Amino acid sequence: MKTVGVFDSGVGGLSVLRALLAELPGVRFIYVADSAYAPYGERTVSEITDRSERITAWLRGTHHIDALVVACNTATALAIDSLRATHPDLPIVGVEPALKPAALMSHTRHVGVLATRGTLDSQRFARLRTQLESAALSPVHFICQPCDGLADAIERHDLRTQQSLCERYVAALREHAPGDMDTVVLGCTHYPFAADVLTQLLGPAVTLVDTGIAVARRTRDVLGMSIGVVTPATPPVLLSTGDPAKLSQGASRWLDLQTRAEQLLV
């Protein structure tokens, strides 16, 4: 049985784990929520790099993982290059704001991006944005909105604050976006869990795009697993550096998993 490590700053990566479980039911997933250090989007590059390395080293040393999924946009943007340099023999799959899929989907070529400040300020994001905005045949205009505090509100399942912040950031996005914006990228793995609120605020004419399915398929590819092979479902191992009860509740709420999370000191 293949073993894959998955980590995020908190419960947001459960949106990626949901897609991974659907695509690869026979794989053993070890999910680490680094909730004691959440949200990553408001931490320094050195802090994020250090946490990413500590968790990766622990997953390799303890569970001998066959691959790693960095289920966090900010950690991917700021730490994945360092992880790949330190662990060249380990297949590592990251998540990035789905700019390319959104560009392909948008008819108006005006795409909104909701993400953490850390992701939007990263060189990796800037390179991808510049590449797509300067395309010769069909350039895309991205309207980027940092969403300070939103990942934390989702992490705490604070519905009132989620609603308030979604209203604020959608209003700010619309203020700077052309009226024909038809696609919005959810640039943080936490944000799919606020999709209902965002859809209500943005309206039915706007399509939301996240990266869960693409990440799951990429993980299947790096593991060399065939499409359509039916294998018994394997429950994931859930670990949290913060309050494991919050991770258990999130897994139950969003994934319908009745798996008890355990405390991790790393």
**Which residues are tagged catalytic?**
72, 188
124 SS3 class = helix
Half-sphere exposure (Cβ direction) of 106: Cα atoms closer than 13 Å: 26
| 216 neighbors 22 (Cβ within 8 angstroms) | yes
Residue in this structure with the two tokens 């989007």, named with its chain if needed: 41
What's the rounded Cα separation, in Å, for the pair 127 and 130?
A: 5
AA identity, residue 152: D
Residue in this structure with the two tokens 């309050």, named with its chain if needed: 243
| 222 neighbors 183 (Cβ within 8 angstroms) | no
Q: Outline where 144-257 has alpha helix (H).
A: 150-155, 159-176, 195-202, 212-223, 244-255
Query: What DSSP string describes 6-43?
Result: EEESSSTTHHHHHHHHHH-TTSEEEEEE-GGG--GGGS
What's the rounded Cα separation, in Å, for the pair 78 and 204?
A: 33
Residue in this structure with the two tokens 């959608």, named with its chain if needed: 170
Using the 8-state DSSP alphabet, how is residue 262 labeled?
E
Distance of CA 236 to the CA centre of its chain: 18
